[in-house]
Structure 1
C-alpha cells in the first residue's frame, strides 16, 4: 500500500484538505464578526448571529452523516456542501440588512460544518488503509487555522474587511479542487476493512491501550437493519464518552466569543492577545504528534478524562489572572482542550464503532460539541460577561469538569458484565 501512487496522492490531498478547511475557519471565526461590523451591524446583533450560527448543524450534520453511512458517497456529499458554501459566500457582499445576513449565515452553517464528520470519517478509514495517522492530518488543520488567521489579519489590517470574503471564497475553491483527489477509503466496509486486515486487526478487536469488548461494553455489534444514529445513542458507554468530549470542546465558547473583549478591557494589547492564541495553537499541534503514543498506552477514555481536568484548570486559571506570562502558561493546556480531547474521541470511535455507524458517531460529537453545547456555552458566557467578566471562564471550567463523571460512568458501564 505504501508503494501505491494513488494512495500517496490521496494521503497528500487529505492533509492539504485539512489545512484548507481549517484555514477557512481561521479567517471566518475571528474575522467574520468584523466584516459584519463593517456592514453596519451593532455588537448586539453580531452576537445574535454568532450564537445562532451554531444551531443549524444540529439538523444538517446527522442527516448528512446518515446518508454517508448508508450510501458511502462521501465525496459527492463533501463537494455538494462546499459548492453550496461557495454560493453563499458569494452572496454575502450583495446582502444588506441584519435579517438577510442572519439568513445567509444560518444557511452557511447548515452546509459547511457537515463536511467535518465526512472528512474525519475518511481520515480514520484512510489512516488504517494507508498507514497515515489521523492526528497528523488534524495537526495540518491546526496549522492551517494559524497560518490563515495570521495572513487574514495582515490583509484585513492593510486593506479592508472585505478580505474576509475574498480569502473565504479562494479557500473554498481550493477545497473543491482537492475533493477529486481524496482517497476512496471513506466507503463503509471497503477500504477500511482492508486496512484493518493489513494492520492485523479484526472488526471488534481493540488495539493496544483498549480493553477487549465485553457484553455491555463500548464495542458496538452493528445491526445493519437499524438507523446508524440510533445505534450510537443506544450505546451508553459510547454516548457518555461523546458527551464528555463534547463538553470539553464546548467549554471553548467563552474563549471564542468574549475573551478578546475581556482581555482588551483588562489592558492587554492585540499583539499580546495574538501571542496567547499562537501559544495555544503551537501546543495543540505538537500534542497531535504525540497523541497516538499516549492513546496506545492509557486508552482514549482516560485521555478524555485528563483533558477535562486540565481544561478545567486552564479556565479556572484564566478567570483569576490577566498577567501575560501566567496566561501563556495556562494557554499551553490547550493541547488537552483541543488536541488531546479531539484525538481521544476519534480514537475511541475508531475502535468501538462499526464501519456502518462511524460517520454518525462523529456527527453526534460534532453537533453536540459545536452545536447544542457550544450554543449554550456562548449564551451562558454572554449572560455572565456583562455582570462579572471572569465568571465566563469560571463557568467554562465547570462545563469541562462536568465531563469527568460522564467518563467514569462510561468506563463503569463498559466493564460491567451483562447480567
Structure 2
C-alpha cells in the first residue's frame, strides 16, 4: 500500500468516510427524538418511532449484502443508499403528521444502515496487516460520533432543533462526495486470509447468506457478538432519563459518555495486538463477561465515580467485541460471503436483538428503573455459552484453526 498512491488515497477516504458516517449517527440518534418533540409528537409516539426504526434493516441489509457479494458493485450500492437517505432527510421538514414522520423514519432506516456492511467490507479488505486498518478506521467512526454529538448539542442549544436536519444533510452530502474515492473491496472469489483448507476452490454461492447461516461456528460467534452489541440498548434509550431522575446533571452525564467513547477509541488501536495473542473468540468471550459486569454494576449504583469506572468497560462492550467479530469474519469467511456475514451481524446486533433489548429494558424501566440494566446484563451473559459452543464446533471441524 505504501507504493500505491491510489491505495493510500482510498484508505484516507475510508477513514474520513467512517468519521462522517458515524458522525451522522452522532447527531441523529441522540437528537432526532428532540426534533420530533418539536413537531408536537408525544413521548409515546416518539418511543414508537425510535423503537421501530431498528426493524427495517432486517429486510434491507441482507438484500443489499447479497447484491454486493454477487456483483461486487459496492460503490454504486453505497451511493444509491446515501442518495436515498439524503432525499428522505430533505423531506423531513415538510412532514408534520405522525404517520408521515413514522413512514419517512422507517424508509430512512431501511436504506441508511445498508451502507454499514459495505463500508466494513471495504475496511477489512484493505486491512492486510492483520486487520489493523479496520480497527483504526472504526476508531475514526467513534471519534466522529463523539465530535458531532458535541457540536450538534452546542448548535441545537444555541439555535434550535432544526440543526438536527441541517447537520445530517451536510454530513450525507460529504459522505456522497467521498464514495468515488473509496477503495475497491475484494472481488468475490478465493481469499487468502480465510483459514480453511479448500478456500481456494470455494465457488461463488447463489445465496451467500444461507451459506453463512449453515456455518454453525460462524453463526454462533455472530449471534454472541450481536448479543453483546445489543446489550447497549437500554444505555442508548433510557440511561440518560434514569441518571437525570437520579440527580445527575446533563453536563456530568455527557462526561460519562465521553469516558466510554474514549475507552473504546483507545481499545480499537490496541485490538490488533490483543487479537494476535488471544484470538477472536476469546475476545468476544471477554467482552461478554465484562459487559455483563458493567451492566450489573450500573443497575446497583448511581454514584458518578462508580458509573465512570464502569463506563470504561465500554472498551469491551463496543470496541473489543466489534473488532473481534470483524477479525473472525476476515479469517473464516470466503470473500464471496463476507458482506453477507457482516450484514447478518448488523441486522442481528442493530436490528432484531437491539429491538428486543430496548423493549425488554423499557418494560422493566417503567416498573423498576434499574431493571433495564439488569436485562442488559442478562443479554450480554447469554453470549457466553454461544462462544464456548462455537469454539468447540470450530475445533471439531478444523483442528488448529480458532
* The two structures share one fold, judged by TM-score above 0.5: yes
Name the CA shift for 1:401/1:36 in 2 (closer, same or farther; >3 Å). Answer: same
CA contact (8 A) 2:72 2:185 kept: no
Q: Look up the match of 1:199.
A: none
CA contact (8 A) 1:311 1:337 kept: yes
Q: Look up the match of 1:19.
A: 19
Q: Look up the match of 1:4.
A: 4
Name the CA shift for 1:44/1:287 in 2 (closer, same or farther; >3 Å). Answer: same
Aligned residues: 399
Q: Look up the match of 2:292.
A: 312
3-state SS in 2 of match to 1:105:
helix
Name the CA shift for 1:169/1:414 in 2 (closer, same or farther; >3 Å). Answer: same
Q: 2:186 & 2:48 partners in 1: Cα distance?
A: 36
Residue among 357, 361, 364 paired with 1:384? 364
3-state SS in 1 of match to 2:248:
coil
Q: Look up the match of 1:369.
A: 349
Which structure 1 segments of 5+ residues have no match?
Answer: 197-201, 206-212
Q: Look up the match of 2:112.
A: 112
CA contact (8 A) 1:233 1:239 kept: yes
Q: Look up the match of 1:153.
A: 153
**Do structure 1's residue 337 and structure 2's residue 308 form an aligned pair?**
no
Q: Compute the displacement of 1:389 (Å).
A: 0.5
Q: How does 1:27-46 map to 2 (within 5 A)?
A: 27-46=27-46
Q: Look up the match of 1:136.
A: 136
Which structure 2 segments of 5+ residues have no match?
Answer: none
- Aligned-pair Cα RMSD in Å: 1.8
Normalising by the residue count of structure 1, what TM-score does the alignment of the two structures yield?
A: 0.92
Q: 2:6 & 2:376 partners in 1: Cα distance?
A: 44
**Do structure 1's residue 72 and structure 2's residue 72 form an aligned pair?**
yes
Q: 1:173 & 1:132 partners in 2: Cα distance?
A: 28
**Do structure 1's residue 187 and structure 2's residue 187 form an aligned pair?**
yes
Q: Look up the match of 2:85.
A: 85
CA contact (8 A) 2:186 2:335 kept: no
Q: How does 1:209-228 map to 2 (within 5 A)?
A: 213=196, 222-228=202-208
Q: Compute the displacement of 1:220 (Å).
A: 11
Q: 2:221 & 2:382 partners in 1: Cα distance?
A: 12
Name the CA shift for 1:95/1:228 in 2 (closer, same or farther; >3 Å). Answer: same
Q: 2:365 & 2:132 partners in 1: Cα distance?
A: 43
Q: Look up the match of 1:399.
A: 379
CA contact (8 A) 2:194 2:330 kept: no
Q: 2:200 & 2:28 partners in 1: Cα distance?
A: 37
